[in-house]
Structure 1
């Protein structure tokens, strides 16, 4: 997990924290798929906000060392946990360095104009994280409720956009957690999943290595139920489908589940 400090490009104002889990951009830069996913939060005069987003590597714009890479992306805000409304966002990212390096800076354009700067130690001492009580994703996200299949006590949600990557939140063993999950590889073939906890303000700071977690549609119950197996043993039941947007045509085919 990499931590970035975000500022507004128009005025340089602090725009919050972005926690990024890199996928194909760093691990499989020559393959189409998920470049990275992120969780963002901050507090503005209009109120606090949370967002989940995903960026993509496409074969037609595969990054190389001769020019800055530009990646299509989208994001949506979480609502229902004390946040202000945050709309669905269509974005593009320009990288400061070629893959497979972790970029020291990311420039965001489209519906937001921001610059993200890598924080090497992952700590912003002057930032106070939002409360980690997250129970709802809101209407812009595919929201799944989580049931533990191995009998351990725990509750939670999984929030998705289009790729099959997710933001997870809940309680396990009476401690709160917040994590990002995604996969590496071309989503039209076999992929390897991983998940990483977001440590600040949470009871866990764990990492599931690539390939030690499998997420797939339940063959008996249909696509509205996903099964997580391997490192975890969970059933994810679709509670509310996303509404009000469709992924752009350049990334709509990059999804792990039909």
Structure 2
């Protein structure tokens, strides 16, 4: 178990007690026994391929948000945070791959027959995994990042099995209108990982999305809204002045003072 990069093995004085005889622990164990059915059903729903579980997005307090241009020019690898729009410009890319169910190694095939995996040293099956490229845009630059697994399924609103069935089995294109509408005119807070891989001639950097969430829109203040409603009077409106009697003198006819006529030369 790891929490904020802190695990049990990182502490020299860590100890583990099984079923400790503390009042809080006894109360928690009794509660778990009483709600066993509910807990098992929650675990079953989480592992189901047909359900979409929103990933937990953790943004460290005070973490600096940088621009896309700064990430592109940054020589170091690591995790960065940006605020940008997301757009799915390439609609004809492959939105899923097949990988070994054991070692998760990707295979360049669209055939799901069982095969002998040289890495697992056993006969195994291939399973589809959602992965595709998405464009990130801010005021400084545009870049492309990969998004995969549950994050990609959540964005497309379909499972990897559904994607494979449409694109590979039926050989049809995905309908992405709902994705374009969902991303339109929205800014997202995005956690990115920059990593690199090299060949014999060069080194390449790639970006992958670790988490994202829509940035909350800050409403205009009451002062700003009211200031926009006030407009200056037109010249003709300013020249006409209406004089009325005081309240209570209802029998007196209001007097209208016409504007002074302009003298003609």
**Under TM normalisation by the shorter chain, which class is it?**
under 0.3
Is the strand fraction higher in 1 or 2?
Answer: 1
Structure with max Cα Rg: 2
TM-score (norm 2): 0.23
TM-score (norm 1): 0.24
Is the helix fraction higher in 1 or 2?
Answer: 2
